[in-house]
Amino acid sequence: MSDLTGLEILFVICAIVGGAFVLLRLVMQFIGIDHDMDTGADTHDVDYGDGTDPGFKIISLQTLFAFFMMFGLVGLAMSNETNVEGYLTAVIAIAAGVISAVVIAGLFKFSNKLQSTGTININKSVGDQGTVYLTIPADGIGRVQVYTGNRLMELDAKSGDSTEIKTGESIKVVGIQGNVLVVEKI
């Protein structure tokens, strides 16, 4: 290490620190203890109201250390394997670090889109079709099975035109009243 220049020492330190953190983070994800490990700016209690996920930011610990790792590795490789001047090596290393940070941020954004709360909004079931599971009395509540939100749901229902609908008959959801579907016979 005595024959390394100051810039090369910086590359080595960045590669070791960034690589160690990325490896540690990967191990923690595999064993399941990676919950909410991010910078203080990325609080998960904030509702931005515009659909953005506060867990995704361009600058997070993951992207920061990915930047340092790639900055160090590319910078060290450029300085050892090419005859490129120091400043150009640093510029290329910075570019590699930025690209890796953007790629990591994009991967986290993509992985956040894979999450789902599992909550079904029955208001979106209007227009869906199903079958009566328990007879719906003319002025009462029965149960129906409706395929909504990519799931077969069994929900309370009442007749929209105040007629009895028997078990097994096909229905269509025409409205919602509270948590009860308003249905009509097809």
| pLDDT tens per residue, range 131-148 | 999 999 998 999 999 988
**Separation CA 13–CA 175 (nearest Å):** 64
CATH topology of domain 122-185: OB fold (Dihydrolipoamide Acetyltransferase, E2P) (2.40.50)
Q: 166 falls in which pLDDT band (50, 70, 90)?
A: very high
- The pLDDT > 70 percentage for the chain reads 84
pLDDT at 35: 54
Model confidence at 156: pLDDT above 80: yes
What are the φ/ψ torsions at residue 24 (nearest 5 degrees)?
Answer: -60, -45
Q: List Cβ neighbours of 167 (8 Å cut-off, separation of 6 or more).
A: 132, 133, 134, 135
Strand (E) or helix (H) holding 98: helix 86-113
Contact status, residue 141 vs residue 156, Cβ threshold 8 Å: yes
Q: Is the pLDDT of residue 180 over 90?
A: yes
Mean pLDDT of 176-181: 91
pLDDT value, residue 44? 41
d(CA 132, CA 165): 7
Please tell me the number of Cα atoms within 13 Å of 34 on its side-chain side.
Answer: 15
- Which secondary-structure segment (H or E) carries 177? strand 170-177
Identify the DSSP state of 82: S
Domain-by-domain residue ranges, the chain? 6-113, 122-185
pLDDT of residue 84: 80
Which residue has 């007749």 as its token pair? 159
Q: Where are the beta strands (DSSP E) in 101-164?
A: 129-134, 141-148, 151-159
Model confidence band, residue 16 (pLDDT cutoffs 50, 70, 90): very high
- β-pairing, 141-148 vs 129-134, is antiparallel
Condensed to tens digits (0 to 9), the pLDDT of residues 36-47 reads 444 444 444 434
Residue located via tokens 């509702």: 47
The average pLDDT across 4-11 equals 86
